[in-house]
Structure 1
């Protein structure tokens, strides 16, 4: 029967395996543990998990902390003094290398992922690794990274050619991490601000029936956009779009229509048939009348 393995002794073995794999972060994809080294790390983690004095929690926390330290040491220096597209390209490169590294390291802790994590209902090792990466990156570069991502989303929305591969790879990674809530709020706020600006432009630029048709079109496109970027169910995306797309656009429509009536300039009768149909559809997209219509309420 194997003797008791202390956490300190066992973790030294695992740290050495992690150190070998961490060279992948710098692009050395050929630098991986040998089969013997890999099995030694796996056996070590397994013993520490199943022996009488189990160290599952310590290994889980050590895995998370060690990965975060790897990101601080090997990823952050590559992001220094970079902005916009250059920053995102470097971030995507480092994240892709990191994913290869994590796939290798997670194999050491396979038993931990299958048993301890599932029993405790903790984030799986891959999601924990994503948090270690993006939480560390955002702790230093949250403004730079989020603004670069939001800029790409705005450009894509306006029809510009953007590198969708980079955008989607990074957003998928973020959505696996605890940074997801931060980025979701940033996207929601930016989308609301975008359509608030557009509403004042479009209401004077287009006939009212065209404006209402644009509300419907924007709702449909933004619903799919938020599903894609934020990895949320369609129902949640539709609800968000009610707050950040339909609300500012329809508020502007209502305000403009009231002003026209107050000034004695009734809507042209030729608009009426089309308008009634479109308005009925758009009203189904608006928030319940009991909700506060102030702009702040749509950001909650």
Structure 2
């Protein structure tokens, strides 16, 4: 029968029954509902009908009117319980006679995604089927079911899918899902929509296995899920397969690739896993999935990767491989103690570079000594080189390592060692630093005001690492006195600026004598200028 003819017949029947005051007999009414409603819907979902719209407006209104009239009279004429039970039986019948046999055919199919395709197909159909069953008998939810404290039609429909389909086929579906995910990890495209449809079932089943008050299928999909089924029947196995997969991959990558190449692969893998969660896994899986990846890709091999002779952190620092350094930092910061070995290696690198500069000066001193000559303390090279090294590493820690405390400490400890390791007993780093500062403040370097301030800032940065600050203060006072007495200074402003920097580092007592010297000189100069002015006027 064509849909339009069926609708007209139903409408006539429903209208006549509405006018009459008598009951709609159970078997008569059920036959109308089943033949013109449930069977039509099943045929469409099974693909046996060309019209994908189950009912027109007239058809739906007529079916609902019939079912409502069968339950609207109290006493002997109220068929609510019978309709509720038969609705449940129809849903169970469809699952047992249509869904289970077809899934059994594909249970051991050679095609990798056969079971997933069928499982997804029947799940999507089941959602539509339950939706329409709830629509046809919605009045039961609002009346009989609410008054009897029993499961709603939606809850019944989803629970039946759990009991009849999900429990029977979850193992095969899970295995096919995990195989498909590994296939995607190998770089082969898969149907992500298919996986999303299949994965969706697991959290919904957790809710459906316990909740009896679900109003609609959509509300079941939107309600905060019960993840117990998802976690026990999918997530645990997913995490195990993920660990196994990346355990295999990491061993191969470690043997064949440099540290930057390996970390690039690891970064791409973590990004892919995040996208995987976004596309078809439950959001709650992300942190656990990434943790499993990080354990296999990073935690197990952080030592070999960081300390690799040819391409580890030391090489990256030496070669200014900023992009690779940033990647290493971003990856290892994800681990509980991932930055500690990086900070330690950074400290060793800075110590090595600093000690190399000290050794070069020792070699130069020895070479000149063998020729009967002596290297002047005015030679600026070492302090300039140490300033350059500190500036470079400070910028690296700030920009690439987010100024993280462990790297700040590593840089500080490294420079403390270097700055307090004199090249020879007669060649003190403290004296070299004081002399270098004197060259800036005495105007010997021909710098403008901004350059002077910048150089002084570099000096104070090295000053903070000096252990014997009393010696520094003594030598600095001697040089300051000479500059003031000989009037060979860049500016009083620059002198005061340097003293303020030392005061900030060490406190007021440290600079009391220096401030007194500058103040006395300033006052004396002012009084002398007054005297000269007075003498001129006289």
**Is the shorter-chain TM-score for this pair beyond 0.5, marking a shared fold?**
yes
**Which residue of 2 is the match for residue 240 of structure 1?**
288
Gaps of 5+ in 1: 49-53, 290-300
How much does 1:155 deviate?
1.6
How much does 1:65 deviate?
7.2
CA contact (8 A) 2:273 2:290 kept: no
Please tell me whether residue 279 in structure 1 is matched to residue 340 in structure 2: no
Alignment partner of 2:188: what SS?
A: coil
How much does 1:124 deviate?
8.1
**Which residue of 1 is the match for residue 67 of structure 2?**
41
User: 1:1-300, aligned counterparts within 5 Å?
Assistant: 13=30, 16=34, 18=38, 21-29=41-49, 32=54, 34-35=59-60, 36-42=62-68, 67-82=91-106, 83=109, 84-110=112-138, 129-178=157-206, 179-181=229-231, 182-232=233-283, 236-254=284-302, 256-257=304-305, 267=312, 269-272=314-317, 273-274=321-322, 276-287=325-336
When residues 242 and 97 of structure 1 are mapped into structure 2, their CA distance, relative to the original with a 3 A threshold, is closer
When residues 266 and 100 of structure 1 are mapped into structure 2, their CA distance, relative to the original with a 3 A threshold, is closer
Which one has more relative contact order, counting CA pairs under 8 Å at least 6 apart?
1
CA contact (8 A) 1:150 1:190 kept: yes
When residues 180 and 268 of structure 1 are mapped into structure 2, their CA distance, relative to the original with a 3 A threshold, is closer
CA distance in 1: counterparts of 2:311 and 2:175, whole angstroms = 43
**Which residue of 1 is the match for residue 528 of structure 2?**
none
When residues 95 and 266 of structure 1 are mapped into structure 2, their CA distance, relative to the original with a 3 A threshold, is closer
CA contact (8 A) 1:203 1:252 kept: no
CA distance in 2: counterparts of 1:228 and 1:47, whole angstroms = 50
Taking only aligned residues, the RMSD between alpha carbons, in angstroms, comes to: 4.5
How much does 1:165 deviate?
3.5
Gaps of 5+ in 2: 1-22, 75-79, 207-228, 339-538
Give TM-score scaled by structure 1 length.
Answer: 0.68
CA contact (8 A) 1:130 1:173 kept: no
How much does 1:159 deviate?
1.9
CA distance in 1: counterparts of 2:151 and 2:261, whole angstroms = 47
CA contact (8 A) 1:27 1:97 kept: no
Alignment partner of 1:160: what SS?
A: coil
CA distance in 1: counterparts of 2:289 and 2:336, whole angstroms = 10
Deviations 1:232-263 (A, max 9, x none): 2xxx34412332211211123225359x68xx
CA distance in 1: counterparts of 2:99 and 2:328, whole angstroms = 51
Matched pairs, number? 272
**Which residue of 2 is the match for residue 297 of structure 1?**
none
CA distance in 2: counterparts of 1:114 and 1:287, whole angstroms = 54
How much does 1:207 deviate?
1.0
CA distance in 2: counterparts of 1:116 and 1:222, whole angstroms = 47
Give TM-score scaled by structure 2 length.
Answer: 0.41
When residues 131 and 224 of structure 1 are mapped into structure 2, their CA distance, relative to the original with a 3 A threshold, is farther
CA distance in 2: counterparts of 1:228 and 1:123, whole angstroms = 33
When residues 190 and 110 of structure 1 are mapped into structure 2, their CA distance, relative to the original with a 3 A threshold, is farther
**Which residue of 1 is the match for residue 386 of structure 2?**
none
How much does 1:198 deviate?
1.4
